Amino acid sequence: MTNIISPNINPDINPEISPNDRCFLYGDGFFSTVRVTAGVPELWPLHLARLQHTAAQLAIDIADWNVISEAVVNAIAAAHVDKAVLKIQVSRGSGQRGYSPAGIAPASVYISLGNLPDYSRWQQQGVTLALAELQLAVQPVLAGLKHCNRLEQVLLKRQANGRGVDDLLVCDQQGYVTEAIAANLFLHRAGRWYTPELSRAGVAGVMRSHLLSRHPDIEQVNWLLSELNNVDAMVLSNALMGVVPVQSYNNQPLDLALAKTWCNKLLC
């Protein structure tokens, strides 16, 4: 059986979370953030597919995925919200100290709702992007997964805040262009669009998967930083903000009009 803990009046304060929960102790779990529009969880089939894939990769057993889908719908209905961010977080469960996952059951699923940020300025004016100093650890076993070990992103966000930019372009430790802090990256060069292939590090976002399925002409590539010299436009994507153009990279202006036109095409 899977424990499902839905939002209360204040979902940020949940007394039912055990201090022995392995998500709390070791980051032993995974999550997805879902945009809710008109009371509907957008791209839910893709979110569910990623959750199922991650559970299989981490060997976390979920007894009945239909129960989780129903809990998501019920949480939205109970909150009476039109627009929101729904977060679904899956923990391996609670256990005694020690790394071993042996005998840990059942899994716990936490569902919470929050306010949807306003991305209109980014969508209209584009974002400023700079190159991150921190590089992502290369771990193919975890590459692509949205697991709960997000300290790299915490440090990257702190760095972006300190440098006065909206976001950072992040490479992995082998020097390959990978993603932004909490978004996937699309790059335009010589009339074509590309996105980093994510077999070493990074998160395979739901919006990225959606775009790749609808636009098979987007090529997945392994590019070192030098490959960006001839890039003239960039776009960021994630499930909450959709697609957002990049106005500049390392203080160098990019083709904002081209990026915005492509963003509009992607959303058609």
Alpha carbons 159 and 155: distance in angstroms, whole number: 6
Catalytic residue selected from 42, 54, 179, 197: 179
- Tell me the residue type at 72: V
**What letter does residue 168 receive in the DSSP assignment?**
E
Alpha carbons 201 and 184: distance in angstroms, whole number: 12
Tokens of 143: 């590459």
DSSP string, 219-266: EEE--BGGGGGG--EEEEEETTTEEEEEEEETTEE--HHHHHHHHHHH
42 assigned to active site: no
Are 72 and 48 in contact by the 8 Å Cβ rule? The answer is: no
Catalytic residue selected from 2, 33, 128, 178: 33
Could you tell me the sign of the dihedral formed by the alpha carbons of 168, 172, 178, 182, in that order? Answer: negative
54 assigned to active site: no
33 assigned to active site: yes
Catalytic residue selected from 54, 128, 146, 178: 146
Q: Which residues are marked as active site?
A: 33, 146, 179
